[in-house]
Structure 1
Amino acid sequence: MDRYLEAAKDAAQKAGRILRENIDKSGTIFFKGAIDLVTNFDNQSQEAIFKHLSSCFPGHDFMAEEGLNKEEGAGFRWIFDPLDGTTNYAHNFPIFCVSIALERKGEIVLGVVYDPMRKEMFSAIKGGGAFFNGKEIMVSSVDDLDKGLIATGFPYDIRVSEVNNIVHFNNFLTRVQGIRRCGSAAMDLCYVACGRFDGFWELKLQPWDVAAGALIAQEGGGRISDFKNHEFNIFSSEILATNGLIHQQMVDVLQMENVKV
């Protein structure tokens, strides 16, 4: 599995270099929805990742955010987001990352998340722990939600759907020390893995948003589920990631009666 990990890291760094070197340039922005956008640098990053990984592993399958879906039945599939945090990037706000995961026969076995602005590389191989720039990391030891720093995000259809996370956000506001909204689910999950955040919840994410980060959080000692504390998979419509110690407390808030999920 080490050779897959090194290839993923190399691909993430190549893509990250493109993003880092072009963040202050005026790129082309395309709108996929009212607030859902993509830049030409998303596409350049995606092409760099695909070119590198497909040259290393020509028989592998691929799934990526910007319309890439290559299936050859190889048993291995790379699932990646070439730019997680596109809105931030388009506004020259330096919180974004490259997220790459490897799925083997339906199971995520490897994850890499790279923040090119801070040159922070998070990685994990299933069963092997989680790492930050080569050093093993663990989740926080906060056991009281009242003292927790947690994170979330909002779906792209927030303007038109009642299922938009606002009620959950309001319910958490008075029950935690603080809530952060970074704009990158992959980074939020890695921040849970290394103890910067104590918990994270979000809904309506895509497989490429969570595949790598969820594995890294788990390998860092974290706990992952849906909002009802049921088993999570990358196609779930909900994700809750915590240090494990405040997991049930967050589930309880998410399951408060008379809320719109």
Structure 2
Amino acid sequence: MHAMLNIAVRAARVAGNIISRGYESRADLATELKGENDYVTQIDKEAEQAIIDKIRQSFPDHSFVGEEGGIVEGDETFKWVIDPLDGTTNFIKGIPHFAVSIALLYKGKLDQAVVFDPMRGELFTASKGSGAQLNGYRIRCTKSRDLSGTVLATAFPFKKKEALNGYMSSFSTIFSQCGDVRRSGSAALDMAYVAAGRFDGYWEKGIKPWDIAAGSLLVQEAGGLVTDFDGGHEPMRTGAVVCGGAKVVQGLVRALKV
């Protein structure tokens, strides 16, 4: 395992332990509203700080950006992008589907990725050029020829419900062409599941870089494509992502342009 990936895995497991303990006593946790239908708990903050502290033990000069404000200035050559608890609403409600997401950007490009599901003990990892793994075993995206029969994942615009009408139009087009659609509440796990071949594809709009950074490298290293809604290659900048096997991505992008 790459040295930096190994440290990221250790950091993810430390955060996972914090999350698992918090899950057992979540009724007593302080919860804040960051925005419309957007929550944060003390566990999110503790997990993020634990990740940063763990990585800085080995790489004190690196820079960080985390969802909960964990911005640490440093060498921009190495930038860690962190979502300490992707799926906070699931966590609060007691739905055991959430994950730790850690990615490393090297000179602005995705280089290492970890998505860790502490409830199932599933560790998704990827190093640029070395493939993607689940608990040490190689994973691959599916190779569907079109959307027919596929199981896809998405998310509704719960933070901006005024965008629902436009979203439902494209959703209807896609749903009429595929087998079925899932909405799980964790972008990191949606993309990890695409990499593992559990979902054939995934699309979502209005997301942040920390939501999809690690998942993007997982999908790419599992043989898939990651684009924005226009088929471009900057989903982390545009906040819109489409991923899956090549033909699935083509079909989704085509449907999203209708």
Q: What TM-score, normalized to structure 2?
A: 0.95
Task: Report the more deviating stretch, 97-106 or 232-241.
Answer: 232-241
Q: Which moved more, 1:24-33 or 1:152-161?
A: 152-161
Identity fraction in percent: 39
Distance apart, 1:168 and its partner CA:
2.0
Alpha-carbon separation, structure 2, partners of 1:126 and 1:164: 36
Gaps of 5+ in 2: none
In 2: Cα distance, 1:162 partner to 1:132 partner: 34
Give the 3 Å change call, closer, same or farther, for CA 152–162 of structure 1 in structure 2.
Answer: closer
Which secondary structure does the structure 1 equivalent of 2:75 belong to? coil
**1:68-147 alignment, distance < 5 Å:** 68-147=70-149
What is the DSSP-based 3-state SS (H/G/I as helix, E as strand, rest coil) of the residue aligned with 1:173?
helix
Q: Is 1:199 aligned to residue 204 of structure 2? A: no
> Does the residue aligned with 1:71 lie in a helix, a strand or coil?
coil
| 2:34 counterpart of 1:10 | no
Q: Which runs of 5+ in 1 are unaligned?
A: 257-261
d(CA) in 2 for partners of 1:93 and 1:209? 19
Off by >3 Å, runs of 4+ in structure 1: 160-164
Query: 1:240 matched to which residue of 2?
Result: 242
Aligned residues: 256
Q: CA RMSD in A?
A: 1.5
Shift in Å at residue 252 of structure 1? Answer: 1.3
Normalising by structure 1, we get a TM-score of 0.94
Q: Is the 8 A contact 2:62 2:79 kept in 1?
A: yes
**What displacement does 1:105 show?**
1.0
Distance 1:164 1:82, change over 3 A: farther
What's the secondary structure of 1:153's corresponding residue?
A: coil
Residue 213 of structure 1 and its aligned partner are, at CA, apart by 0.4
**Distance in 2 separating the partners of 1:214 and 1:180:** 19
Q: 1:177 to 1:227 in 2, by over 3 A?
A: same
**Cα distance in 1 for residues equivalent to 2:107 and 2:235:** 13
Distance, in Å, in 2 between the alignment partners of 1:237 and 1:141 is 25
How is 1:177-256 mapped onto 2 (pairs within 5 angstroms)? 177-256=179-258
Partner secondary structure for residue 150 of structure 1: strand
Amino acid of the structure 1 residue aligned with 2:152:
I
Contact 2:209 2:239 in 1 (8 A): no
1:70 alignment partner, SS class: coil
